[in-house]
Structure 1
Amino acid sequence: MRRFIYYLGIFSGIVLLGILALMSGEVIFRYFFNKPILGTVEISSYLLVIFCFTGIAFTQSQRGHINIELVTLRFPEGTQRMLRIITLILSLTTFMIITWQMAAAFWKSWEMQEVRWGALPLPVWPVKFMIAFGSLSLCLQLLLDIVDEIRNKITLPGRSN
Structure 2
Amino acid sequence: MFHASVTRSAIDDDFPPLYRDQEMSVSRSRMISHPGNGICFTMFDRFMLFLAWAAAILFVLAGCMLTYEVIARYFFIRPTIWAAELSQLCLIWGALLGMPWALAARRHIAVDAVTRLFSPTAQRGIEIAAMACIFAFSVMVTYKGWEIFYESFERGRTSGTMLDLPAWVAELPVAIGFALLAIQAVIEIVGLLRGKDIPKGAHE
> TM-score range, shorter-chain basis?
over 0.9
Q: Which letter maps to 1:112?
A: R
Match status 1:53 vs 2:96: yes
Which of 132, 136, 144 lines up with 2:187 in the alignment?
144
Q: Which residue of 2 aligns with 1:123?
A: 166
Q: Offset at 1:7?
A: 0.6
- Alignment partners' CA distance in 2, 1:85 and 1:152: 11
**TM-score normalised per structure 2:** 0.74
Which of 20, 25, 34 lines up with 2:63 in the alignment?
20
CA contact (8 A) 2:81 2:163 kept: yes
Q: Which whole-Å deviations, capped at 9, do the CAs of 1:112-160 have from their partners, x for residues lacking one? A: 01101122211111221111101111111111111111112244238xx
For structure 2, the residue ranges without an aligned partner over 5 or more in a row are 1-43
- Alignment partners' CA distance in 1, 2:49 and 2:151: 30
CA contact (8 A) 2:192 2:198 kept: no
Q: Which letter maps to 2:122?
A: T
Give the 3-state SS of the residue equivalent to 2:200 in structure 1. coil
Q: Which residue of 2 aligns with 1:105?
A: 148
For structure 1, the residue ranges without an aligned partner over 5 or more in a row are none
CA RMSD of aligned residues (A): 1.4
Q: Offset at 1:41?
A: 2.2
Q: Which residue of 1 aligns with 2:37?
A: none
Aligned length: 158
Q: Which residue of 2 aligns with 1:86?
A: 129
- Alignment partners' CA distance in 2, 1:124 and 1:102: 12
Percent of aligned positions with the same letter in both sequences?
A: 27
Where do 4+ consecutive residues of structure 1 move more than 3 Å? none
Give the 3-state SS of the residue equivalent to 2:103 in structure 1. helix
